[in-house]
Chain A
Amino acid sequence: MAASQSSRIGEYITHHLTFLTNKPQTSIIDFSVVNYDTVFFSVLLAVLFAASFYWAARRAVANPGAPRGFQSFVEMIVEFIDNQVKDMFHGTSQLVAPLALTIFCWVFLFNAMDLLPIDLLPDIAGGLGLAHLKVVPSTDLSSVFGLSLTVFLLTIFYSVKVKGPLGFLGELTLRPFSSKNVFVQALFVPINFVLESVTFCARPISLALRLFGNIFAGEMVFALLALLTLLHSFAGLETMSGWAMMLMQAVLTFLWEVFHLLIITIQAFVFMVLTVVYLSMAHEHH
């Protein structure tokens, strides 16, 4: 009994951690494998974001009077992002503010998928004959690295564009140690380069893993709370302990959802803020 229970628990968790792919992935990096579920939900949420904000923008253009309903909600977000970006980014850029808006909304929508009942969409997909379904794109490493590497590439692009290739290289090699003596400086260059490039390259990794870790942990807690009643059938409702378990699951899941609301918003915000900060550093001369 105990062995079958733990194997069912293991099955349930594994089921929730497996992507819907074209073929099983065996090595850690394999670019012939695609996570259909992540791509599907990312694109779906991207379209949702783009369509609704585009609609609000059209409404704002067509109706110059007081904004109403969803339009004012969108304008509130845009104004919030605009103020944040103005606080952190002092250059002039057509890219940074829209980028920040895109990241904040898209990542928030990614994370918000976590608030749906954990088995709802996977069970529906199961009914349609799909073996696995992971609905939260920010719990996919490929997905979060996709975001952070794009930000990373933009950072490099703007660093080179604003400071020139030599300026960018100088930033990587002439700090933090510098000396007026040419020979000492030549000695410092490799040390600086190692230090600075590690710092520089750690950015996309920390950016991606921070988001991934927080949301993945949240999802895992939902899965564990679901386990409270998973092993009981409806027969469990004939006993007091069965009812107690169900009540406990409901209360704990509710509390975790409330707390998670905070986490998903903060993580989306942090991802956005760090992106703006990195791009701001790329635009500034030291």
Chain B
Amino acid sequence: MYINLTLIIQMAVFAVLIWFTMKFVWPPLLEKMQERERRIAQGLAAAGKGEEELKQARAGADTILREARERAGVIVDQAQRSASEILEQARSAATQEGQRLVAAAQQQIELDAARAKEQLRQQVGAIAVAAAAKLLEREIDARAHEALLNEFAAQL
């Protein structure tokens, strides 16, 4: 249990060791640890912010989706309505056209029939005159009997 030169040597070694720790060990370690701590804190904050943003984006997307769905429904309704309108219009137009065609055809038929009647009447008149002439063996003045003939034809 003595005090000797070891004490001085120990003090010197201790001083060098303190200097070394102060210079090369403590500052870089602590700086890097604090830097990492900051980075972790920033990362956590960013993660929180990202989550918040994601939530907002999801809510925004939901709103947009809902609006789009509503608008699509409106558009489909309108389309159906206008389709049925167009169908209705086409149907009525076709009906009118058909009626018009039928009417025109009837008119034509009536016209044709009238013309045929007229021809028939004239021919019947001529035949009747010819038949009468043959019967009477004499010529009938067609002009003189025109009134008679017309009356006859009208009775046909």
Query: Which residues of A are interface residues toward B (Cβ below 8 A)?
Result: 21, 25, 27-35, 38-39, 42-43, 46, 49-50, 53-54, 56-58, 60-61, 64, 74-75, 78-79, 82, 94-95, 97-99, 101-102, 106, 137, 140-143, 145-147, 149-150
**Which residues from chain A contact B36 at a C-beta distance below 8 Å?**
64
A-facing residues in B28-50 (Cβ within 8 Å): 28-30, 32-33, 35-36, 39
A31-B8, A146-B10, A149-B11 in contact; A54/B33 too (CB < 8 A)?
no
B40 to chain A, nearest CB (A): 9
Query: Which residues of B are interface residues toward A (Cβ below 8 A)?
Result: 1-11, 13-18, 20-22, 24-26, 28-30, 32-33, 35-36, 39
Indicate the member of B18, B20, B29 with the most A CB atoms within 10 Å.
B29
**Which residues from chain B contact A106 at a C-beta distance below 8 Å?**
14, 17
The listed residue (A27, A32, A57) touching B25 by CB distance below 8 A is A57
Across the A-B interface, give the 9 residue pairs with the lowest CB-CB distance, nearest first: A146-B10, A142-B6, A98-B26, A33-B4, A142-B7, A98-B22, A60-B32, A98-B21, A35-B6
**Which residues from chain A contact B24 at a C-beta distance below 8 Å?**
54, 57
**Which residues from chain A contact B1 at a C-beta distance below 8 Å?**
28, 141
23 CB < 8 A contacts A-B: A30-B2, A32-B5, A33-B5, A39-B10, A46-B13, A49-B17, A57-B32, A60-B28, A64-B35, A78-B26, A78-B30, A99-B21, A102-B21, A106-B14, A142-B2, A143-B6, A143-B7, A145-B3, A145-B7, A146-B6, A146-B10, A146-B13, A150-B18
**Which residues from chain B contact A75 at a C-beta distance below 8 Å?**
29, 33
Majority secondary structure, A binding face: helix
